Each structure stands twice: as structure tokens, then as C-alpha cells.
A and B are shown apart, each in its own frame.
Chain A
């Protein structure tokens, strides 16, 4: 029996010829990631255990992105804990304010993760790097501590679901609609413990940013990882950026999949997840009249340059509706600078939106745009759980940057066709 792409990467890192679904393995890691929320817990575990060094400090990254620039004294203390640890143990990839960005946009941008890698991160959206052909998955702080000490991690090799993406996406459809559609189809535990392997003739139409968005939300279907094949789009992104050699793994022709699901991207409609689960997806004819108070365009899911360009295309020459607060958050400093030079900030500010420093901020109800009781937001983020962006009686509607920007103009949930 052949192996899936994910299984091949695991086998290669475990020094094995092959692995089967369900097999428990110990594997060498290419990168171990933590952020300002999860790293302090890892540091505590690391020090409690009496470990004295990191096996490969160059394979550890710490990104201070969730509550930064530090939102309060406790957050400042947490970052200080991590900063002190990074200095003590020689972690060069420590990203603080001024160097930081949202971790899952920053690590690929800095060339720290790439094709063929095995990556763990103490952040559930670590699955994002599957877009580059890596096996990448979220873990907790204790796994991070063990990973820093040993540069290894235990895995149960997953089975997989294959998604055949067909045709060119319809107008105003991007990676976000594809993944929300899929989560609506299979549910928030539809891929529990499994790999989501994306392939098909439609892949070539998806930009690297679209692929980041799709893999980013694999966890919202319960998946262990999401992964794309390595093609010209991947190589173009990695060339001159990725610090290691590209290793392009391919699924065997006789690889076993639990399910094969076809998605015709030319037939997709703008898709929105209604509160309070990402699986509650609806298309425009089902939306009804949903008045909104806030729009957030950003996050590890949709804070890339192409997402900001989409939002600017919609907002150009228009105004954010009265009573709506529109917050734009470029995911990294590089993206911020690029958006500024492209004139996107003029468009946002003239429209009545605000541009924030890179931060996870409001996505998880941290800071920079918290909702009051009864308020509603359309957000390009990844979770709409109860209380996710603030008060337990607030609501989050997950959408693409097209829909988020259109909604900002309309003052209610709207598709781009409604405002252009």
C-alpha cells in the first residue's frame, strides 16, 4: 500500500522507509514554534524539568504576536519571560515588536519553513505551512518544551481525506470560500485526527496566499494537517527565501484515502460561517439582513498582501458605512510596508477604515477591536466560537476579504456584487 504525501514526510523524518496510518513514530523536527501565549507555559515546563540547553536553537522560533504590542502588564511580563529565555538559550528567531508579524505569515515570509519540512508549533494554526508542502501541525506547550530540548516529537501517522479541487474559482471567490465551503461540508470534526490533502487541476489557480488560507483552517475541520503538492507556485515563493533545500514529496498513486471529495471551485458562491461554529456556512441567498458593527480584515488566515489588495479593490472610492468600525491588520511588517507603498493605506483611510500594527489582536478577543454585548463583526479570521472576539453575547461571521470589505461598505453582511 502506498503512502499519502503527509505519511511520506513523516516517514522521512522518522528515518523509516514507510509508515502506515495509526503507526506511532518519533521524528526529527525542522522547526519548533511558539508564541507569546504558549511559550511562557513551555518555558515553565522546560525549567521545571531542569533541562539545560536547546538541541538546535536555530530550529526554534518564538513570535510575540498575540497580545503585542503588549496590551497590559501581565502580557508584558509574559513576553519578558520569553525574551529572557531566548537570550539565555541563544534563540535567534525571536521576533518581538519591530521584527514580528503574525507567526503563520512571518515564518514562511522569513524562509524559516518550507517544502518537505516537519514542523510543530504551539499554536493550532501551525497547519498553515502545509501550503508550502510541509507537514506542519499544532501542539501544546509541553510538546514545544520537549521539542526544544530534544528536537523530536512523537506522532501517530494520520489517515487522510483527499480533496480534488476542480476548475478556476468563480469571480470574487478565493481560498477562504473554498475552505469554509469544505468545513460546511464535512463539519468541525469532519477530518478529526486526519490529513486533508488538496490536489486536482484547480490547484494551479490558487495563489500561495490562497493555499495558506486553506491550510490555515484545516484545524477548523479537526484535521492534524492540511497539505498542498509542491508546484511552480510553491517554488516561485520559496526560491531565494527558504533557507533549506526544497524537498518535494508526492503521494503514491496507490495511496489510501478514507474519502475523496470533489470541489468544483467554479461553482462556489461567497461563503460565510455564521455564529458560533465554522461549519455553520451559508451562501448569499441564505444570509438575510445581518446588520454589523465591526469588520476585521487581517489575521493569520487573511492578513496577506493579496487579501489587503482584495479589500482595497472593494473599498476604493467608497466609504465604510456609518456606525461600522473597519479594522485592517496587515499580518507582518513586510506586508505593512508593501501595502503602504502600493497606496492601499490611502484607500483604507479615505474609506474611513483604520490600519493597525501587525497583531493577532481581535481574532481571539485579545485587544485592538473587542466586541461589546450584542455586537456583530464580519471578520476574515478563523473562529466564531462563543465570546471569541469579546463579550459572550457578541457574534462573529467568518468571511473572505471580498465579503468583509463589501459588508463594511453596506453596513450589513453583503457580497461584493451588492456594492460594486
Chain B
């Protein structure tokens, strides 16, 4: 699958409380969660984000709570891919389970700025910064995890008999 969009750029340790503050966790509505996405770190995010856009962050993205509402809010806001140096482990797991594409690629993080247009072939992990013309390669997922992604998330992969 190919994705393409404009980049929102964040630093290290973006926690799940700023991705979706707990005061909004009294709902499971994806649209409602998306309407508050990144609210406590970037009030402009929900106003500017367009379908397909991409988040690029530094280390430990998604640290903190186990709330699946965080990747759900990001996905429902229209974001097609999150690229970071590293992800907090529960966020990493949750993203794969719900089908939010994520990639670890420090080279890309180093060479992509806010507002750049980036495209990515998710199956190959090939990231292209169309603004600068540079190409980067993310480490592929282990087969076990790629299988969950290919099936469309954890529940779908279980239903398919793995």
C-alpha cells in the first residue's frame, strides 16, 4: 500500500496524554477522539490535518498510557503513517493491532522537515521525501508482525486463523 501526505513534525517523548487527553476518554467514538487529537501539544493539528498526512517524530513516540484511543485518534484524524526513531512499546503494539502504519527510520527522521511532502510504499518500507528527493529505507517488520498488518489487524488475523 502506498501513502502520501504533508508532514507534521514533533520531538521526543510525545506521550499519549497529549495525543488524546484523558478528559476525552469517556467516549469510544473515533470521530470524537480525532477531533481532540494532539490538542495539548499542537492546537493547530486538527485544523490543518488532511487525509493522508504523515507524522514524523523523534524518540519514544506514544509513551505513557496503554490507551488505544491514542492510535485510534491519530488514524481517524486522517494520518496515514507515523515515522519515528523509536516507539513506546504499547503504542507500537496497539498501532499494529488496529492497523495504523508505523515505521522506525532514524535516517528519515533526520532528513524530513515539517511541511515536506513524503510518500511511502508501506510493504517495502521505502520512504521518499518528495520535497528534497531523498529516499530512505525502514527496517522491515518480522514476518509474524507483517502478517498481522497484511490481514488488517490482530482481530482480523485471528479470524483468518493466522
Contact = CB atoms under 8 A, between A and B. Distances in A.
Contact of B94 (A121, A140, A366): A140
Contacts of A366: 22-23
B41 A386 contact: yes
Contacts of B107: none
A207 B59 CA distance: 35
Interface string A10-50: 00000000000000100000000000011011001100110
Nearest to A141: B68
Interface residues of B, number: 40
B116 interface: no
Given A41-B69, A142-B98, A365-B23, A383 B159 contact: no
Contact of B89 (A145, A193, A387): A193
B40 A386 contact: yes
A364 B65 contact: yes
Contacts of A40: 28
B63 interface: yes
A143 interface: yes
Interface in B57-78: 59-60, 63-69, 71-72
A37 B67 contact: yes
Interface in A209-230: 219, 222, 224
Contacts of B21: 365, 387
Given A142-B94, A142-B153, A154 B144 contact: yes
A123 interface: yes
Contacts of B40: 386-387, 392
Contact of B63 (A123, A139, A222): A222
A25 to B, nearest CB: 10
A365 B22 contact: yes
A383 B17 CA distance: 10
Contacts of B26: 37, 67, 71-72, 74-75, 78
Contact size range, A:
35 or more
B72 to A, nearest CB: 8
A140 B64 contact: no
B97 A222 contact: no
Interface in A145-189: 145-146, 149-150, 154, 188-189
A357 interface: no
Given A146-B154, A366-B22, A383 B64 contact: yes
Contacts of A222: 60, 63, 88-89
B90 interface: yes
A43 B23 CA distance: 21
Nearest to A190: B60
B65 to A, nearest CB: 5
B158 A149 contact: yes
B159 A49 contact: yes
7 contacts: A24-B145, A139-B94, A142-B153, A143-B154, A189-B60, A222-B89, A385-B18
Interface of A: 24, 37-38, 40-41, 44-45, 48-49, 66-67, 71-72, 74-75, 78, 121-124, 126, 138-143, 145-146, 149-150, 154, 188-189, 192-193, 219, 222, 224, 277, 364-366, 383, 385-388, 392
Q: Name the 5 nearest CB pairs between A and B, nearest first.
A: A140-B94, A74-B26, A140-B68, A142-B97, A189-B60
